[in-house]
Amino acid sequence: MIDLDKHKAMANAIRVLAIDAVEAAKSGHPGMPMGTADIATVLFSSVIKVDPSLPDWPDRDRFVLSAGHGSMLLYSVLHLLGYEDFSTEELKRFRQLGARTAGHPEYGHGAGIETTTGPLGQGISTAVGMALAERMMNARYGDDLVDHRTYVIASDGDLMEGISHEAISLAGHLRLNRLIVLYDDNQISIDGPLDLSESGDALKRFEAAGWNASRIDGHNASDILAALEAAKTSDKPTLIACRTTIGYGSPNKAGTSASHGSPLGAAEAAAARDALDWHAEPFEIPADVRDAWRIAGLRSGHARKAWEKKYQSLHPDERAEFDRQIRGDLPPSFSAAMEKLRGEIGRERPTLATRKASENVLAAVNAEIPETVGGSADLTGSNNTKTKDLEVLTADNYGGRYIHWGVREQGMAAAMNGMALHGGLIPYGGTFLVFTDYCRPAIRLAALMGVRVVYVMTHDSIGLGEDGPTHQPVEHLAALRAMPNLVVLRPADALETAEAWEIALERKEGPTLLALTRQNCPAVRGEESHGNRSKRGAYEVAASGEPAVVSLFATGSEVGLAVKAKGLLDMEGIPTRVVSVPSFELFERQSADYRGEVIGDASIKVGIEAAVRMGWDRLIGTDGIFVGMTGFGASAPYEELYEHFGITPEAVVALVKARMADA
């Protein structure tokens, strides 16, 4: 049973800290933490399994504040529970440069922040991936080692975002009964009362997606506790709609959007303190309240220690494997296996679509790394993401390693973030490159958080052919290359595809995107190669006999085209070299010397890519010749499209000769 006086004081501590921090910052969102303080208090003092003394304990429950603008809720709770990273000083530095207490929770800023949230809808969708990862790890290691839940506080805005549909239908379909969403049902949006823009039935919506759903008074601690306890035994994911008053405690702003996104102001802050019967100085917590929270913070110590015992009693090999997967290290044998594979491909020199080459590489990768998890947004046969040995994951078999995500690019990308954040798994997922537009908000979060997710994006140009311009990326490579901390790789052939996978998997510090062809690509390199040349981003793949007059730079399927153009130019007596550029980002990180050497000093530089020019001037200069796209594609067999848009060896030769005639 809940001691209501104590509960009230504990909840008010959250409210007042939120008020104080927002006032100090002169910026922030007090309304949400004030409204959800009762929910958070019950959750963190009586339900959730976390240990502030060991915040990264693998079997902890996960908490996601999907309504990230209410970040002071999370910071206050972590502070009160005793998380070292969230001292009073940090609370006072809310929203200041270098503080752990950023405007929205930023993953990596402090222990206890399980994911970055801010773009509405992403948190709840990321949580689906966490809840799924828990079941998958449970299937691998059993209840002794993996037995936790994922709790979410989500807002009206989270549920209005389209991605939430993909997330909740996935969770329902996969029966993720350890996912529990507390919906801050406050009936207020930024523009005003929610009914300005929303009149749906949230409970019915979640039920339709296969969830349990109920509505409670979000300020009634007993009801909150009862609902959470019921949720823990549910056979489905659970939505608890908690009717709350935004800005609860603010005499004049509670229940209105005025409390949402601005400080209450000194007068109203004082009035709220009075109304809450709170008489401590700003940022001060009365000893009894602080004690109550610290005791709450100690609650799961016993469970954590019990877990440690089970963990210690594992067979050392199993423990080592568990640790390795949780750390995210690759198996020690991985490098040698990839070197062997590269050697084989180099000798064989196959002509393959790079999506098919990717499937071949994955067969080796999935055999070597048991923690990879594949999937596709309903394009399995096109993305070549399913290798034969991968069992399909279902609600009845979380041991599967392949996920049919459905036509849910957004949900897939966000859930992959959650799986990577959870730890123990390396997710990769596919769709057509053009549909990275749907994945982009989640890709951005992966890049911002620095988590290892691999995107297998096939049909990467007009080479897609007949499906036409809605399915043909032209601006996507540029748009993705623009994103910080995302590495985009567009391999030229089967060998570069193997190199790309090696780079992607070794890269723990962020996401990697592979842009792969639908159509066949000849081998541009062979067994003379040693080492992973793609790691440097660009390299000379074909030298000129004499000092080069022409340098051809190309990526992916256009490298083979460049090699052909070189053949034609050589025949005309024009010394030409070819540079393959699998990754702009990796090349940008090389030394000035290496860059200068690869770019070279040929007087005519040509960039070739079946995409827009944006970004290419960096390599070929403003006077470089660019052979690519200037607008959207078209529907036709792909060879005709290359011809139609002038992306051919002959077109390259003609442009080079015209430039030479001008000179």
Cβ proximity to a copy of itself: between 196 and 320 the closer is 196
Q: Of the ranges 454-462, 529-537, 632-640, 654-662, which one interacts with a copy of itself (CB under 8 A)?
A: 632-640
Cβ nearer to a copy of itself, comparing 381 with 573: 381
201 interacts with a copy of itself by CB under 8 A = yes
Nearest to 634 by CA among 467, 404, 419, 415: 467
Binders of a copy of itself in range 106-125 (CB under 8 A): 106, 116-121
The binding track of 124-163 with respect to a copy of itself, each residue x by CB under 8 A or -, is --------------------------------xx--xxxx
Q: Binding of a copy of itself at residue 251 (CB under 8 A)? A: no
Verify binding: residue 27, a copy of itself, rule CB under 8 A.
yes
410 binds a copy of itself (CB under 8 A): yes
Token pair listed for 572:
């005309």
Active site residue 409: yes
Query: What distance in Å separates the CA atoms of residue 390 and residue 401, rounded to the nearest whole number?
Result: 5
Please, which residue, 10 or 412, has the CB nearer to a copy of itself?
Answer: 412
The C-alpha angle with vertex 608 and arms to 606 and 609, in degrees rounded to 5, equals 150
Q: Report the alpha-carbon distance of residue 594 to residue 52 in Å, rounded.
A: 47
CB of 192 to a copy of itself, least distance (A): 8
Number of residues in the chain: 663
CA 127 to CA 107: how far, in whole Å? 14
* Footprint (CB under 8 A) of a copy of itself, residues 79-98: 95-98
Map the footprint of a copy of itself across residues 576-615, applying CB under 8 A: 612-615
C-alpha to C-alpha distances, 390 to 506, 618, 658, nearest whole angstrom? 21, 41, 53
435 known member of a binding site: yes
Choose between 22 and 130: whose C-beta lies nearer to a copy of itself: 22
Site for a copy of itself in 344-383 (CB under 8 A): 376, 378-382
Annotated binding residue 382: yes
Question: Which of the following is catalytic: 409, 499, 502, 609?
Answer: 409
Region 444-503 residues binding a copy of itself, contact defined as CB under 8 A:
444-445, 447-448, 465-471, 474-475, 478-479, 481-485
Of the CA atoms within 13 Å of residue 380, those in its CB half-sphere come to 13
Q: How far is CA 18 from the centre of its chain?
A: 28
C-beta atoms surrounding 607 within 10 Å: 27
**Choices 309-317, 420-428, 540-548, 622-630; region in contact with a copy of itself by CB under 8 A:** 622-630
Cα radius of gyration rounded to whole Å, the chain: 28
Residue 622 CB contacts under 8 Å (≥ 6 apart), including other chains? none
Q: Is residue 651 within the footprint of a copy of itself (CB under 8 A)?
A: no
Q: Candidates 312, 622, 661, 662: give the one binding a copy of itself (CB under 8 A).
A: 622
26: left (phi over 0), alpha (psi -120 to 50) or beta: left
Nearer to a copy of itself, 217 or 378 (CB): 378
Q: Is 255 helix (H, G, I), strand (E, B) or coil?
A: coil
- Conformational region of residue 129, where left means phi above 0, alpha means psi within -120 to 50, and beta covers everything else: alpha
DSSP 18: H
> Cβ closer to a copy of itself: 220 or 485?
485
Stretch that binds a copy of itself, among 140-148, 199-207, 330-338, 539-547 (CB under 8 A): 199-207
Nearest to 455 by CA among 495, 518, 505: 505
Contact 126, 421 (CB under 8 A): yes
Binding positions are 29, 69, 118-120, 156-157, 186, 188, 260, 355, 382, 435, 459, 467, 471, 518
Which residues form the catalytic set? 409
Binding positions for Mg(2+) are 156, 186, 188
